[in-house]
Chain A
Amino acid sequence: MSDQKPRKPAEPKPPRSCGWMAEFSNEHDLLVASRKVRDAGYTKTDAFTPFPVHGIDEALGIKPTILPFIVLCAGLTGLFTALLMQWWMNGVDYKYIISAKPFGITPASIPVGFELTILFSAFTSVFGMLGLNGLPRFSNAIFTNPRFDRATDDKFFLYVDSRDRYYNRDSVRELLGSTQPESLDEVLEDASPTTLPRPIWLASLLLVLAGLIPAAIVLNMRAGFSDLPRWHVFFDMDFQPKKKPQQTTTIFADGRSMRPQVEGTVARGQLTEQDPFYLGWDPDKKVSAIEGETKRFVSVQGVGQDATAGAASPTPQDSATPAQPPADGGATPMQPPADGGAAPALDLPWLERFPFEPSDADLKLGKTKFEIYCSACHGYSGYGDGLVSKRAASLLQDTWTPPTSLHADRVQKQPVGQIFHTISKGQGKMASYASSLTPKERWAIVLYVKALQRSRNAKIDDIPVEQRSNLTETK
């Protein structure tokens, strides 16, 4: 292809001889002849057969190929590419937080790792085979002989190349002739032009150029700047005629797209919002200093509109304009700082007593549920030494916040309502358990926690008189 000048055919110079080619009608004759040629010391030899003839490698002295090692390397490259890609894309460049699973290589990386191993190896097998065989090669001296067309049909050819160290035109002819071939021909240099025909060349060039146009446009768009607005393929999909929360509107007189609750209606879940059983504190009790977080909570919850109307309320009860600056995470305004430990107790009228009459069954229920949901972190006896916690400590997980001991002094002092509230809303790193446990179950856990606390800090007076003697015995 490098030679651009079209060659003139039928020049006086005779074509150069490339070697000799003997034709056989079956593979067995070919094998015999191949052995003969090999034993005569020729190494620049080849056999051309319509299918792989077994034993020809030994008969001609062909060395095994290194292709498997190349493929092994490619497979390992594929594996490491896949693992690096997943680690970097999902663990470094754009961290995906999923179920607190570790970033980087996890068992979920195996499928893609496997597929890319196969992909790289398979492509290397094919293209490595072509590369080792020197293919594609469209110009080949052996194609000059029309008899050779049957090398892919039913004939078998043995070829000795003139570049062989021991090559001698006459002796090779004699040797090949002695193997009784069907025909014996000298292979002559391919004199036909080696350049690609001009129309094909031009057509390929045009195709390649045409293929580059979209890429060029994309690159130009990415690198350059434009004053024009972005092109929207589907305008009504990008800009939908609808209102979102917190937007204004001209449809309603108050200008708000979010509509307030219709008077005289009860929304789903609203009934339980003022029941101490579901809250852990008493909303009916007047909060003496209705300031700060407490007041905001009450106003956001929309309770006490009428109850607090006449009370000493320094700020207006407008839920839309909270007086206090919003705390971080508006959804959980009650949440204390993340460390949880040193947070000041919330000033809510906590229930000091259970809102129902605790029974033995409740205590048993509380024990069951505590051991299912709480013991993993807080431990079976509540010292904050659950299995998860121990495991995290042994792994030196710096993101792990050790769970609070339920026997810590400030937890001991907490009223039952506050513990209920902690279970319902979560605290610090502890998530809310409201979706896993019914209110009754949460109260039962509170009951069990209280029992645990008392058992761990028991005084001699707590033990019935008739059982005190047992205590000393076991001690």
Chain B
Amino acid sequence: MATTASSYNPREIDNTNDIPGRRAPLITGNQTYSSVTEMVCRVAEDPQPKIWWLLFGFSTTTALTFLALIGFLIYKGVGIWGNMNPVFWAWPIVNFVFWVGIGHAGTLISAILFLFRQNWRTSINRAAEAMTIFAVVCAGIYPGIHVGRAWLAFWLLPYPSLNLWMWPQFRSPLLWDVFAVGTYASTSLVFWYMGMIPDLATYRDRSKHPFRRMVYGMLCLGWTGSSRHWLVYEKAYTLLAALAAPLVLSVHTVVSFDFAVSQLPGWHTTIFPPYFVAGAIFSGFAMVVTLLVPMRKIYKLENLITLRHLDNMNKIILATGSLVGLAYGTEFFMAWYSGNQYEGFTFINRAFGPYWWAYWIMVTCNVISPQLFWFKWFRTNLVAMWVVSIFVNIGMWFERFVITVTSLSRDFLPASWGYYRPTMFDGLMFFGSFGVFLTLFLLFCRYLPTIAISEVKGVISSSEHAEHVQAELLGHAHGDADGSHGQTNHGQTNHGHAT
């Protein structure tokens, strides 16, 4: 198999422009079906580059430190954290919301962009979905260890607790959260896995070693690529997309209820659900850019994850970042317009009180930095977009910090005001969760298909079909003038070079 896919040269190829009349290609380098297979499978089949081992060594060390710290936390108690009256919901809940928010991009890309027929999603959805699941794993750790007696965390589930035969209280948003995050994690997992089945079959069929072949053979459940199977599969995929689209919106809505249903100034507002969802998509896309920019470089996937994909994601970051900025402004407006003195105080305190630094980091990172994406240079420059995406990640963490800590530290009663200070364990355990996240993501790159191979092939197929129809309309039809789409030879013209 001679792949004619030319190597990537960013100077020659610009697919970020939509030239009127002709669709810019989604993937570059004159790809064929086999060259796509080759490019993606190479990631797992070739020996991993040095940087992978470096990162893996670093991330596993960090992750193991995190696990050890969790052990220490369970042994010693949550007192090792800085959580103290009046701020009992401190970094653990901030980190939880941060990770859950990041976990929104994957399902958004795979579900909502699928329903909107955004074909550019095919190159990035797999990695984004994987990232989603790993982020939700990180998120799930925090409530589990924050409950104090972590060995009883299963009481979060509808379980008649020991000797009391008492059920959970279904009017509490915290319990809705258990259901929302649990449903989201498990649905995302099956969605991700189902999407991988055909690609795992590709991995199986390319495996040389019988053990490898057997493992991938079991993972892909004996997928053959049968058209009868594909038909049901596509229906199931559409159904899952239609189910996951409202789900992804509901998850952060319910997370925001944790705050909005309480009566604390700064939390008790109806803007929270849309504001949280926009923020979640914002942070999720930023994290996808953070991961994909190095990944496409390391694994030489530039022809599949093209500048156009990154450009599109940056546009979404710009849109959601502006939405988040609008929400910050609306909160301030409502604090003044409501005439409620506590609400008014809370917001003045946020911007100019003891946590002013956190507030202005948040505004700089979340509102100002994405505005750079109005300029095409920033949207298409890899270093620039990577830096902005890191800024957005930082900003979104600070957003959750500002919401949680400023409102709690100064409530109605000045006598109970306080200033929250994290301890070393807060910092190390937040840093440690990145180790878990990165370890899982590196293992994913190493063993699982990082790009939805079959979906990219489907995009190639349909774009060539479209080109052919266009050529026919323009009068450049091939020999067959009977108008029956000429299945006989246009395949050869397009694929001749592939065989």
Contacts and interface: CB of A to CB of B under 8 A. Distances in A.
B186 A90 contact: no
Nearest to A60: B227
A96 B168 CA distance: 10
B94 interface: no
Interface string A120-144: 0111011011101101111110110
Interface stretch (B333-341, B346-354, B451-459): B451-459
Given A101-B171, A137-B222, A126 B230 contact: no
Interface string B175-215: 11001101100110011011000100110111000000000
B457 A112 contact: no
A233 interface: yes
A122 B228 contact: no
For the complex of A and B, the 9 pairs showing the least CB-CB separation, nearest first, are A136-B221, A154-B33, A129-B236, A26-B491, A89-B167, A28-B491, A149-B205, A111-B176, A154-B34
Contacts of B201: 152
B205 A90 contact: no
A72 to B, nearest CB: 9
Nearest to A134: B229
Contacts of B457: 50-51
Given A51-B457, A122-B187, A25 B495 contact: yes
A162 B50 CA distance: 52
18 contacts: A25-B495, A27-B461, A27-B491, A50-B37, A50-B225, A116-B183, A119-B183, A123-B187, A126-B190, A126-B191, A126-B240, A129-B236, A136-B218, A137-B221, A138-B222, A149-B206, A152-B205, A154-B37
A98 B205 contact: no
A51 B250 contact: no
Given A47-B227, A57-B231, A94 B166 contact: yes
Interface in B236-272: 236, 239-240, 243-244, 246-247, 250, 254, 257
Interface string A44-60: 00111111111011001
Given A121-B239, A154-B33, A49 B227 contact: yes
Nearest to A197: B214
Contacts of B151: 233
Interface in B425-461: 453-455, 457-458, 461
B33 A50 contact: yes
A366 B167 CA distance: 45
A119 to B, nearest CB: 4
A29 interface: yes
A123 B186 contact: yes
B91 to A, nearest CB: 23
Contacts of B236: 67, 125-126, 128-129
B44 interface: no
Contact of B230 (A52, A114, A128): A52
A135 B235 CA distance: 16
Contacts of A133: 226, 228-229, 232-233
For the residues of A in contact with B, the DSSP-based class is: helix
B243 A121 contact: yes
B217 A152 contact: no
Nearest to B495: A26
Given A94-B166, A118-B247, A52 B240 contact: no
Contact of A125 (B34, B243, B247, B453): B243
B494 interface: yes
B71 interface: no
A114 B180 CA distance: 9
Looking at A28, A29, A54, A89, the one whose CB has the most chain B CB atoms below 10 A away is A28
A29 B225 CA distance: 17
Interface residues of B, number: 76
B180 A135 contact: no
Contacts of A71: 239
A29 B250 CA distance: 45
A59 B93 CA distance: 55
Looking at A60, A140, A149, the one whose CB has the most chain B CB atoms below 10 A away is A149
Contacts of B314: none
Contact of A50 (B169, B175, B454, B499): B454
B498 interface: yes
Contacts of B194: 126, 129
B487 interface: yes
B462 interface: yes
A106 interface: yes
B227 A62 contact: yes
Given A115-B250, A149-B205, A122 B167 contact: no
A153 interface: yes
A65 B234 CA distance: 10
Given A46-B227, A93-B167, 9 more contacts: A27-B461, A48-B225, A65-B235, A86-B170, A89-B168, A111-B179, A111-B250, A115-B250, A129-B232
B205 A65 contact: no
A271 to B, nearest CB: 20
Nearest to A90: B170
A111 B231 contact: no
B32 interface: yes
Nearest to B35: A154
Nearest to B203: A152
Contacts of A136: 218, 221-222
B37 A118 contact: no
B250 A106 contact: no
A245 to B, nearest CB: 23
Contacts of A85: 158
A130 B186 contact: no
Contacts of B498: 25, 154
A32 interface: yes
Given A111-B257, A149-B206, A96 B228 contact: no
Given A51-B458, A108-B170, A140 B224 contact: yes
A106 B194 CA distance: 36
A184 interface: no
B158 A152 contact: no
Contacts of A140: 222, 224
Contacts of B458: 51-52
B232 A65 contact: yes
Contacts of A143: 224
Nearest to A233: B151
A194 to B, nearest CB: 12
Contacts of A28: 487-488, 490-491
B223 interface: yes
Interface string A177-202: 00000000000000000000000000
Contact of A94 (B32, B165, B243, B257): B165
Nearest to A75: B243
B369 to A, nearest CB: 34
A364 interface: no
Contact of B235 (A56, A67, A90, A109): A67
A440 interface: no
A221 to B, nearest CB: 11
B227 A53 contact: yes
Nearest to A119: B183
A204 to B, nearest CB: 11
A94 B218 CA distance: 45
A151 interface: yes
A62 B228 contact: yes
A129 B233 contact: yes
Contacts of B244: 118, 122
B46 to A, nearest CB: 17
B228 A119 contact: no
A123 B190 contact: yes
A150 interface: yes
A115 B183 contact: yes
A31 interface: yes
B229 A122 contact: no
A118 B231 contact: no
Nearest to A158: B227
A68 B394 CA distance: 42
B170 A51 contact: no
Given A89-B168, A115-B183, A122-B187, A152 B198 contact: yes
